[in-house]
Amino acid sequence: MFDNTHAHITTWVIAIILFFVAVGLHNAGKKKGMKVVHMILRLFYLLIILTGALLFWKHQGINPALYGIKGLVGIWVIGMFEMVLVRMNKGKSTKVFWIQLLIALIIVLYLGLRLPLGLNFLG
């Protein structure tokens, strides 16, 4: 049977890897390669949102408020991925967006691991 939790984790791990590949390609001056990776990353944004929404609806009886907050912070992470890459491509400053990305990533990982569907080694 298809396990939404593993699909969700797999999609965000791949997305994080693709994000850093895109950043690396940009820093290496390979803008064409960065654009390809960026487009693939956008597909993974959709997969992350889809698998996260499926998990939320499947387990909505388990602390829906905190899972809702986790979902919103997850959208914030995706937004910061996008802002960093777009602003890098335009040659604009990304410092504020890197800081927001780090904060949002820490919050979403903490909530994901702390809440009942997570590994709960932080509990």
Tens of pLDDT, residue by residue over 30-63, are 989 999 999 999 999 999 999 999 988 887 777 7
In a domain, 121, yes or no: no
In a domain, 122, yes or no: no
pTM of structure: 0.87
In a domain, 48, yes or no: yes
How many domains does the chain fold into? 1
In a domain, 43, yes or no: yes
Mean pLDDT over the full length of the chain: 90
Assess whether pLDDT exceeds 70 at residue 120. no
Q: Residue 86 — φ and ψ, nearest 5°?
A: -65, -45
Assess whether pLDDT exceeds 60 at residue 103. yes
Q: How confident is the model at residue 1 (pLDDT cuts 50, 70, 90)?
A: very low
| Structural domain boundaries enclosing 81 | 4-114
Single out the residue of 85, 18, 83 nearest to residue 47, CA to CA: 18
